[in-house]
Amino acid sequence: MSEQSEGSLQPSGGTRQLGADFPLIFEESRPGRRAWSLPDVKVDAPPLEELIPSNLRRATPPGLPQVSERDLVRHYTRMSQRNWAIDVGAYPLGSCTMKYNPKVAEEAAGLPGFSSIHPMADDELVQGALELLGLLQRALCEATGMAALTFQPAAGAQGELTGLLIMRAWHRSKGDVRKRVIIPDSAHGTNPASVTLAGYEAQEVRSDDRGLVDVDALKAVLDDDVAGLMLTNPNTLGLFERDIQEIAAAVHEVGGLLYYDGANFNSIVGIVRPGDMGFDIVHLNLHKTFATPHGGGGPGSGPLAVSQRLEPFLPAPVLEFDEGSERWGWQHDRPDSIGRIHSFHGNFGINVRAYAYLRSLGPEGLRRVAELAVLNANYLKTLIEGSFPTKYPGSCMHEFVASATALKKHGVRAMDVAKRLIDLGYHPPTVYFPLVVEEALMVEPTETESKETIDGFAAALNQIAEEAQADPALLHEAPTTTPVRRPDEARAARRLKVRWSGP
Amino acid sequence: MDFTPHTPEDVSAMLEAIGAPSVETLFDAVPEPVRLGRGLRVPESLDEVELLDHLRSMAARSKGAQELICFAGGGSYDHHLPPVVHALASRAEFSTSYTPYQPELSQGVLQALFEFQSSICALYGMEVANASLYDGANALVEAVNLAVRSTGRDRVLVGSSVHPHYLQVLDTYTSGLELDIVRLPVAEDGVVEWSEVPAEGAAALVVAYPNFFGRLEDVEAAARVAHASGALCIAVTDPTAMGILESPGALGADVAVGEGQALGNSMSYGGPYVGLFATKLEVVRQVPGRIVGETRDADDRRAYVLTLQAREQHIRRARATSNVCTNQTLMAIAAAIHLAWLGPEGLTRLGELCARRTAFAAKRLSEIPGCRVRFDGPRFKEIVLETPLESGRLARALAQRGFIAGPSLGSWWPDLTNCLLVAVTERRTAEDITGLAEAIEKELAEQ
């Protein structure tokens, strides 16, 4: 099978594969082939039959593939070529902050003093790693305007749950059991899902005709049963919630807390801090703002920072510096802690990368990130708004949500625009989110894309708007340059096949 | 160094196109009173030469499996990392890609995840695996939530021999839902007496296989007792044992979860790791996280897509099966490559190496005067060693002698204050094991 497929895939990511289906590694398997190389047992110990009771001994080894190392390398190398990546081209997915990931950070994470250390090693053995976390903790607290932080959350959604459980613990510490958390209708789906998991009821508040939280609608639902408000600022429409002071005052007035979803922190880093806006709890997505690679959808890192009054509730243990011994160490004695949220200390390897990025940029570099991310988004918006208008007037922050509604009369949908973009050599933006914009195209170029790339992307979009009118079939048939074309998602769900189960 | 490509001319031209007088004016929506109005008080920028020197000097002040002979265990292990795994998984097309929302541009990641799901199903004897979760603890939590949803019950019985951190995470995660988590004691031999467990009204029984003490629990009995009461059996299973131990699926478990770090991922001070999650098809709509499914494309070619997304938070929002958004794709890809490198024979050899070298270590360590191996009975790759010394103190002393072992068990079990966990992977030779035993002997002699 592997020999048959040779030459059928050209060596660039976007090429179409002719002939047979791209093989699974299981289909390349041949009994007796092997890649593994492990020692003989070489110790004086009884055979397995004497060590493992017969009812627990595996009768048939698992049906894993049997391939040579050459098979393995070619299979995965070719498969990788069937994939887009930020190292291949721009990835303007709104709300995802797909910026370039510097290679120096990879080098850092691979240093043996970071990559080969055991998570339960004595603090004394890992002082270098703890110092790195300590310095990153200080810098992130400064950048968010918060007092303390935990690195345990492995991703933003886990940070959300951690923050909501802290919110819950804080209210309960005052004998106050509240039931609802308010969320704008433009919020990411993780917000309401985390609210439910934390034992709260999610209550949506609508956006007004500015695309911002409707402050009157918010005030109407605020009462002493509201535990807090979760807000992404700028919001998922790429708009800064300019009424934030009034919002914060109103939530605090009823004894609620403000949670900052850091999904869009990239656009304000160094310019305005969540703490100064009145937020009490902040999660950051280090894989976004701090440029760590997204790995095909993880690993991320979602550290959670809180104001001083919430510090006692952070997950245990907490990293502290002992002035006397000049040593970093984990403080486990935390009677008010909500408890542990991760098996160990969170995604340390990602935090190393984020630290390398932060030290590379420094204060001016971080501010420039926000400035150029916002400049790029506004520039792109200007170039395409003739074809793809935005619903809300004025300038945007790091992203904007354009609409493809104007093309509907030609039978063209946002998804068709996305697929045609692929043929023109670009990864599409996020489509159909947020839900408050019809035929949404949510675009976030990030600060690492050049003017030339944005010009090219805008030209492609404008060309597509013309094609929609002149030749809509071109859009409906797209993409034609990829290894597969418009996979049938309904069939995938209906005739569920989620593993290889033999030829 | 900030990795932005803009020249001053670019910035001017872009501002002119926008019709904005300055970049500053693009931030007009940010109210003046909340603006920072100063530079962030973070350290000044370093060039790449300075940065690497700085990072290397910090890394040099941490000691791990590179400098010390590693017998540390408890959910993170010094297994062999085949160079081919890193070479392939670190390809930028995998590492710098995003969630496969556009399947046409993501067949590489999607197929890799499909192969990962297939291999995890094969290991665990299950019918469906998701595309991974954050870590072992998170996988356990999600399994418990699945059981609670499927049974409509809120009482969960967990063996106290499950990883203590996982149980702490379970307590934290379920505090909002106010589940009744009951910890089952272990008997003198370090395992739970599953046939004695009163399971009436329980949503799930949670058994670790092998457990935190390295012992093999009777998963079959746990499953039998669970099913007799309409509960699910969740087995927290070490994937590296699956070449020699019967799969949890074959033993009757309904959900198998585990930590996948040992499959191709470095210890990296506890993360990023990868949570494994597999179960039976009948509860597929209750499964959390991403699932990749096979389908056909518009030209009838085989293709892979994210499927059953109606379970997930971006569609179902407050009523989703979980709040999980991302997974640990890159770690899952490394695991899939590692498992293909091993194949069935390699995985069997790996299991045999761990089990037999652990048996050798148990015998040798128990010969140290004043020491004994606790919890007698079949085990996989970990030993609980009791010595005359407080085990944290012993671990620190061993580090001075070139060995890392542990964790010490006293912080979770006060009656095990002098007990140290010792893990033996395929990387530990007879010489390493003898060396550890002699180091302990010397340390005890000097007390």
Is the minimum CB–CB distance between B294 and chain A shorter than 8 Å? yes
When the pLDDT of each residue in chain B is averaged and rounded to a whole number, the result is 97
Give residue B25's identity as a one-letter amino acid code: T
Contact A72 B340 (CB under 8 A): yes
Is the minimum CB–CB distance between B296 and chain A shorter than 8 Å? yes
The phi-psi region of residue B232 (left if phi > 0; otherwise alpha if psi is between -120 and 50; otherwise beta) is beta
Contact B107 A79 (CB under 8 A): yes
Write out pLDDT tens, residues B307-345. 998 888 888 888 888 888 878 999 999 999 999 999 999
By DSSP bridging, strand B403-406 and strand B69-72 are parallel
Q: What is the DSSP string of B320-341?
A: -S-------HHHHHHHHHHHHH
- For B137, the token pair is 């603890």
Residues 6+ apart with CB under 8 A from A175: none
Element (H, E) at B438: helix B430-445
A-chain CB neighbours of B313 within 8 Å are 157, 189-190, 192-193
CB A102, CB A357: distance < 8 Å: yes
Query: Could you report how far apart the first and last alpha carbons of chain A are, in Å?
Result: 12
Contact A36 B28 (CB under 8 A): no
Is the minimum CB–CB distance between B181 and chain A shorter than 8 Å? no
Contact A25 B15 (CB under 8 A): no
pLDDT of residue A8: 33
Contact B105 A482 (CB under 8 A): yes
- How many C-alpha atoms does B250 have within 13 Å on its Cβ side? 17
Burial class of residue B8 in the structure, from the number of CB atoms within 10 Å of its CB (0-12 exposed, 13-18 middle, 19+ buried): exposed
Contact A296 B97 (CB under 8 A): yes
Neighbours of B308 (CB within 10 A): 21
Å from A361 to nearest chain B CA? 5
Q: Between B123, B271, B407, which is nearest A154 by CB?
A: B271
CATH class of A368-490: alpha beta
Q: Between A55, A82, A196, which is nearest B220 by CB?
A: A55
In B376-447, beta strands by DSSP E: 382-386, 403-406, 419-423
Q: Between A69, A79, A360, which is nearest B108 by CB?
A: A79
Contact B169 A343 (CB under 8 A): yes
pLDDT of residue A390: 95
B-chain CB neighbours of A119 within 8 Å are 75-76, 267, 269-271
- For B85, the token pair is 């795994």
pLDDT of residue B320: 82
B-chain CB neighbours of A395 within 8 Å are 18, 20, 25-26, 28-29
Contact B269 A419 (CB under 8 A): no
Give residue A420's identity as a one-letter amino acid code: R
Q: Which of A51, A118, A272, A350 to mutate to test the interface with B (most CBs of B within 10 A)?
A: A118
For chain A (503 residues), the mean pLDDT of every run of 10, in chain order, is 34 46 96 97 97 96 97 97 96 94 97 98 97 98 98 97 98 97 93 94 95 97 98 96 98 98 97 98 97 95 98 98 97 97 98 98 98 98 97 94 97 97 96 92 98 98 98 97 96 97 87
Contact A196 B406 (CB under 8 A): no
Is the minimum CB–CB distance between B404 and chain A shorter than 8 Å? yes
In B254-317, beta strands by DSSP E: 255-259, 275-279, 292-296, 302-306
Contact B269 A58 (CB under 8 A): no
- For B69, the token pair is 């002979």
Nearest-by-CA chain B residue for A47? B356
Contact B271 A497 (CB under 8 A): no
Axis crossing angle, helix A451-470 with helix A414-423, rounded to the nearest 10: 120
Contact A129 B80 (CB under 8 A): no
Architecture of domain A119-359: 3-Layer(aba) Sandwich (3.40)
CA distance A343 to B271: 9
Compute the 3-state secondary structure of chain B and give helix, strand, coil in percent, each to the nearest 5: 45, 15, 40
B-chain CB neighbours of A109 within 8 Å are 268
- The alpha carbon dihedral of B163, B166, B170, B172 has a sign of positive
pLDDT of residue A439: 96
Domain ranges of chain B: 69-80+343-445, 83-337
Q: Which residues numbered 146-165 in B keep a CB inside 8 Å of some CB on A?
A: 163, 165
Supply φ then ψ for residue A93, to 5 degrees: -70, 120
Contact A427 B105 (CB under 8 A): yes
Contact B10 A451 (CB under 8 A): yes
Nearest-by-CA chain B residue for A273? B36
CA distance B182 to B433: 38
Q: How many Cβ pairs closer than 8 A exist between chain A and B? A: 725
B-chain CB neighbours of A247 within 8 Å are none
A-chain CB neighbours of B109 within 8 Å are 83, 296-297
A-chain CB neighbours of B113 within 8 Å are 296
Q: What is the DSSP string of A84-99?
A: --TTTS---BTTT---
B-chain CB neighbours of A156 within 8 Å are 325-326
Burial class of residue B52 in the structure, from the number of CB atoms within 10 Å of its CB (0-12 exposed, 13-18 middle, 19+ buried): middle
Domain ranges of chain A: 1-82, 119-359, 368-490
CATH number (3.40.50.740, 1.25.50.20, 1.10.3720.10, 3.40.640.10) of B83-337 reads 3.40.640.10
CA distance B424 to B422: 7
Q: Between B5, B165, B290, which is nearest A340 by CB?
A: B165
Contact A366 B178 (CB under 8 A): no
For residue A399, CA distances in Å to A214, A372, A374, A393, A446 come to: 21, 12, 7, 14, 8
CA distance B152 to B246: 30
Q: What is the largest CA-CA distance in chain B?
A: 83
**DSSP code for A344:** S
pLDDT of residue A18: 47
What topology does CATH give the domain B69-80+343-445? Aspartate Aminotransferase, domain 1 (3.90.1150)
Q: What is the ipTM of this complex?
A: 0.98
Closest CA to A270 of B44, B39, B6: B39
Closest CA to B115 of B335, B290, B374: B335
Is the minimum CB–CB distance between B22 and chain A shorter than 8 Å? no
Element (H, E) at B205: strand B202-209
pLDDT of residue A3: 34
Is the minimum CB–CB distance between B71 and chain A shorter than 8 Å? no
Q: Which of A88, A117, A462 to mutate to test the interface with B (most CBs of B within 10 A)?
A: A117
DSSP three-state, residue B206 = strand
Contact B58 A119 (CB under 8 A): no
Write out pLDDT tens, residues B220-271. 999 999 999 999 999 999 999 999 999 999 999 999 999 999 999 999 999 9
Closest CA to A240 of B30, B164, B241, B385: B30
Neighbours of B246 (CB within 10 A): 22
pLDDT of residue B346: 98
Residues of chain B with pLDDT under 70: none
- How many C-alpha atoms does A228 have within 13 Å on its Cβ side? 27
Q: Which of A12, A22, A66, A344 to mutate to test the interface with B (most CBs of B within 10 A)?
A: A344
The C-alpha angle with vertex A34 and arms to A33 and A35, in degrees rounded to 5, equals 145
